[in-house]
Structure 1
Amino acid sequence: MRLLLLLSVLAIAACGTPSPEFSGVAPVRVKLGASVFDIRVAGRRAEAIRLNQRPAMRLASVGVPAVLAIERVSGCRVDRLRGDQAMMWATLDCGAGAPVPRQRETYLECDAFELDARGGELICYPF
Structure 2
Amino acid sequence: MRPLFLISLSALAACDTASPDFAGVAPVRVEAGASVFDIRVAGRRAEAVRLNAQPAFRLSSVGVPAVLAIEAVSGCRVDRLTGDQAMMRATLDCGSGAAPPRRRVPYLECDMFDPDAAVSELVCYPF
Q: Please report the RMSD computed on the Cα atoms of aligned residues, expressed in angstroms.
A: 2.2
Structure having greater relative contact order (Cα 8 Å, sep ≥ 6): 1
1:31 maps to 31
| Offset from partner CA, 1:28-53 (integer Å, 9 cap, x none) | 11101211000000000000000111
**SS in structure 1 opposite 2:16?**
coil
Q: Which amino acid aligns with 1:62?
A: V
Larger radius of gyration: 2
Q: Which residue of 2 aligns with 1:60?
A: 60
1:73 paired with 2:92, answer no
SS in 2 for 1:81: strand
- 1:1-127 alignment runs, 5 A limit: 8-96=8-96
Cα distance, 1:12 vs. partner?
Answer: 2.1
The total of aligned residue pairs comes to 98
Q: Deviations over 1:65-102 (max 9, x none)?
A: 000000010011101101110000000011138xxxxx
TM (normalized to structure 2)? 0.68
Identity among equivalent pairs (%): 78
Match of 1:79, SS state, is strand
Question: What amino acid sits opposite 2:93 in the alignment?
Answer: D
Q: Residue type matched to 1:33 in 2?
A: G
TM-fit CA distance, 1:24: 0.7
Structure-1-length-normalised TM-score: 0.68
The alpha carbon displacement at 1:6 in A equals 7.0
Amino acid at match of 1:43: G
